[in-house]
């Protein structure tokens, strides 16, 4: 230990942390060499891992493209983003009447309708790829993003009457119900 | 706005459903035969309950706060 070869003149030196006794090049060549060797080794390991990954990916791709009926994951159909934000600020006022929509109930109603549609499809068509494809296509029509922001400020007022409705939600719910009813009529239940 | 009783015209929904079914080669008669009377009744009850809930939500008198 402690012996090192000078990088410049290849002179053998015995003590660490000193300059080369022949050309006065600073010590450190040995450590650098070993570090570099280690780095190249790990790079090689990484390259082999990547090579394996590529092979696997190619294998998976070749296997999947054969007879894929539904390319998207099934869960993706329920992707629906909604944001409802409501702020009501009442200050220095009296006799104020505010009525708002119960958004939470509406959202759960919407989820209930979606589940019912999926259920009707899966019962009538069976849990087949065909059934999944139909369900996915129906829900894709509702794959939307909604953002609702309401701000109401009331200040220094008297005898105010305010009504707010979340129109987006009620529209969505009605549309889902329409689809469910149409489906059910098609399979002769109603 | 929300007083509008029909969110989407019936024909649009009707066309959408038949188009999706047609596109996926669904045989509606075999789908009908997949259902027994018990399942039909369960679906019917479910749909009717959801329909009442939606109707009462759309026409609800919103909760009052004071």
Q: ipTM more than 0.95?
A: no
Nearest CA in chain A to B14: A182
> Are A112 and A153 within one domain?
yes
The verdict on residue A84 lying in a domain is: yes
In a domain, A80, yes or no: yes
Residue A94 shares a structural domain with residue A40: no
Tokens for A81, please give them.
Answer: 């983003």
How does pLDDT run across B32-58, given as a tens digit for each residue? Answer: 777 788 888 888 888 899 888 888 877
Radius of gyration of chain A (CA): 35
| Residue A69 within a domain | no
Residue A93 sits at the chain B interface (C-beta within 8 Å) = no
Same domain, A56 and A144: no
CA distance A144 to A180: 18
Q: Do B26 and A134 touch (CB under 8 A)?
A: yes
What is the residue-wise DSSP string for B7-63? SS-HHHHHHHHHHHHHHTT--HHHHHHT--HHHHHHHHHHHHHHHHHHHHHHT--PE
A48 and A86: one domain? no
Kindly report the nearest CA distance between residue A55 and chain B, in angstroms: 34
CA distance A83 to A49: 43
Q: Do B54 and A133 count as a contact with CB atoms less than 8 A apart? A: no
CA-closest candidate to residue A83, choices A189, A169, A174: A169
- Who's near B36: CB < 8 A, 6+ residues apart? none
Q: Where are the alpha helices (DSSP H) in A65-90?
A: none
Residue A106 · residue A173 · CB < 8 Å: yes
The answer to whether residue A103 sits within a structural domain is: yes
Domain count, chain A: 2
Q: Name which of B24, B40, B44 is nearest A133 (Cβ-Cβ).
A: B24
Same domain flag for A85 and A160: yes
Say if strands A12-13 and A94-100 run parallel, antiparallel, or are unpaired: unpaired
B25/A96 touch (CB, cutoff 8 Å), yes or no: no
Q: Are residues A16 and A39 in the same domain?
A: yes
Residue pair A107/A169 in contact by the 8 Å Cβ criterion? yes
Measure A166 CA to nearest chain B CA, in Å.
8
Coil/strand/helix, residue A103: helix
**Residues A57, A148: one domain?**
no
State which of A44, A64, A84 marks the end of a domain.
A64
CA distance A179 to chain B (A): 6
Strands A12-13 and A145-155: unpaired
Per-residue pLDDT in tens (0 to 9) along chain A, 190 residues = 567 777 777 777 776 656 777 777 666 544 444 444 444 444 444 444 444 444 444 444 445 555 555 554 444 445 556 666 778 888 898 888 888 766 667 778 888 888 888 888 888 877 677 777 777 777 766 655 666 677 888 889 889 888 877 666 777 788 888 888 888 888 776 6
Residues A51 and A92 in one domain: no
Among A64, A82, A98, the domain boundary falls at A64
Q: Which residues of B touch A119 (CB under 8 A)?
A: 43, 46
Note whether A88 and A180 are same-domain residues.
Answer: yes
A87 and A143: one domain?
yes
- A55 and A141 together in one domain: no
CA B7 to the chain's CA centroid: 13
User: For A177, which of B44, B54, B63 is closest by C-beta distance?
Assistant: B54
Task: Tell me: do A122 and A57 sit in the same domain.
Answer: no
What residue numbers bound the domain in which A104 lies?
74-186
State how far residue B46 is from chain A, nearest Cα, in angstroms: 8
- Sign of the CA dihedral with A30 first, then A33, A39, and A41 last: negative
Tell me which chain B residue has its CA closest to the CA of residue A180.
Answer: B47
């Amino acid at each position: 230990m402690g012996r090192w070869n000078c990088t410049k003149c290849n002179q053998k030196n015995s003590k660490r942390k000193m300059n080369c006794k022949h050309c006065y090049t600073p010590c450190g060549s040995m450590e650098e060499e070993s570090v570099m060797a280690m780095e190249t080794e790990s790079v090689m390991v990484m390259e082999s891992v990547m090579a394996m990954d590529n092979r696997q990916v190619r294998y998976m791709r070749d296997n999947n493209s054969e007879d894929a009926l539904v390319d998207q994951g099934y869960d993706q159909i329920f992707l629906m983003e909604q944001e409802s934000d409501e702020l009501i600020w009442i200050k220095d006022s009296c006799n104020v009447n505010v009525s708002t929509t119960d958004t939470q109930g509406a959202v759960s109603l919407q989820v209930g309708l979606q589940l019912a549609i999926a259920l009707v499809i899966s019962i009538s068509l069976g849990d087949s790829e065909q059934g999944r494809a139909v369900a996915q296509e129906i829900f894709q029509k509702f794959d939307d993003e909604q953002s609702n922001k309401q701000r109401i400020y009331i200040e220094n007022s008297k005898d105010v009457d305010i009504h707010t409705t979340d129109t987006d939600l009620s529209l969505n719910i009605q549309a889902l119900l329409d689809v469910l009813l149409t489906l059910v009529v098609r399979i002769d239940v109603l | 706005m929300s007083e509008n009783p029909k969110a989407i015209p019936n024909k649009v929904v009707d066309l959408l459903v038949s188009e999706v079914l047609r596109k996926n080669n669904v045989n509606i008669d075999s789908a009908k035969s997949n259902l027994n009377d018990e399942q039909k009744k369960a679906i019917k009850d479910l749909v009717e309950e959801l329909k009442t809930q939606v109707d009462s939500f759309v026409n609800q008198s919103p909760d009052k706060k004071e």
